Amino acid sequence: MIGKKLVKFVVQNAEGFVGPIAFEHLIYSHKKRKLYEHKKARRHEILYFIHALLYLVSLQFLLRIMSTGRNRLAASPPGHNLIEFASFLFSKRANQMIYLPLISDMREEYNEALFQNRTWKARWIHIRGIYSFFAAIGLDRAFAFVSFFIKAWKSVN
Amino acid sequence: MFNFDPRLPSAKELIVLDMLAGKKEMYGLEMVQASGGKLARGTIYVTLMRMDDKGYVTSRQLMEENVSGLPKRVFSITGLGQRALAAARSAQAVFGGVEVWG
């Protein structure tokens, strides 16, 4: 029910989901809520806030990816934030067995591509590495959930 | 951490065991490149961790940092892994080349 409403809202306000227009919509729905205490404006405000936030994150991410290459000044190596993220969320063993080697492999391929002056390939490797990282998280959590479920089932029976 | 699981290895685990049986030690990216698209970058280390839990492979961290600035983890097959591989191969032979996995 909520999903249908959300899809309808997105379709009706499709133009608002294109980049900076989300900010205008956010300000508009905020004003609308403040002035008229409009019921739907609150929900719209939350949705546009999320979208504006996603837009900012993706913009920052795109700028980061696009700035790969010779002209780049000092920057953290690819996967730096992912390591921070994984070390904060997951166990030391999971980090040592899955996430650190994954980032290490990505950096190896990335550096090799940069060494051959293949900047676009390096960018692609960076994006693919991020995708692999989140795929690994998904698979790892899925296995953890299934094994927890099996253990719980065995202990009950 | 060792947790013996009597099932036969899965299809992906068999590919990994097959590769490790031929070489002394390998790391994830090496396996992905050698598999020719059968293994994915995102899933290889999760599979290897599960195999480590089952006792099929063992791993060690190389002490020296490489060009990535992070230490590498290399994996090698254990005795149990070799037995599981042999059992899976004989099961395949019995079932006339049909892929058999746990």
pLDDT tens-place string over residues A27-82: 777 776 666 666 666 777 777 777 777 777 777 667 666 666 555 555 678 888 88
CA atoms within 13 A on the CB side of B17: 27
Q: How far apart are CA A117 and CA A97, in angstroms?
A: 31
Residue A36: the pLDDT is 65
Q: How far is B3 from chain A (nearest CA, A)?
A: 12
Please state at what angle helix A119-156 crosses helix A80-89, rounded to 10 degrees.
Answer: 10
Quote the percentage of chain A above a pLDDT of 90: 20
Which of B70, B73, B75 to mutate to probe the A interface, most A CBs <10 Å?
A: B70
| Burial (CB count <10 Å: 0-12, 13-18, 19+), residue B93 | exposed
Q: Is the pTM of this model over 0.80?
A: no
Whether residue A147 is predicted with pLDDT greater than 70 in this model: the reply is: yes
CB contact under 8 A, B73 and A101: yes
A70-79, A144-153, B18-27: lowest mean pLDDT where? Answer: A70-79
A104 CB near a chain B CB, below 8 Å? Answer: yes
CB contact under 8 A, A136 and B46: yes
Nearest to A97 among B42, B49, B66 (CB): B49
Q: Where do the DSSP E strands lie in A39-78?
A: none
Q: How far is A55 from chain B (nearest CA, A)?
A: 26
Q: Judge whether B56 and B88 are in contact, CB under 8 Å.
A: no
Interface ipTM > 0.85 = no
Residue A135: the pLDDT is 92
Find chain A residues with C-beta within 8 A of B46's C-beta.
Answer: 98, 136, 139-140, 143
Q: How far apart are CA A69 and CA A58, in angstroms?
A: 20
Residue B56 tokens, joined: 């099929």
Whether residue B40 is predicted with pLDDT greater than 60 in this model: the reply is: yes
| Burial (CB count <10 Å: 0-12, 13-18, 19+), residue A30 | middle
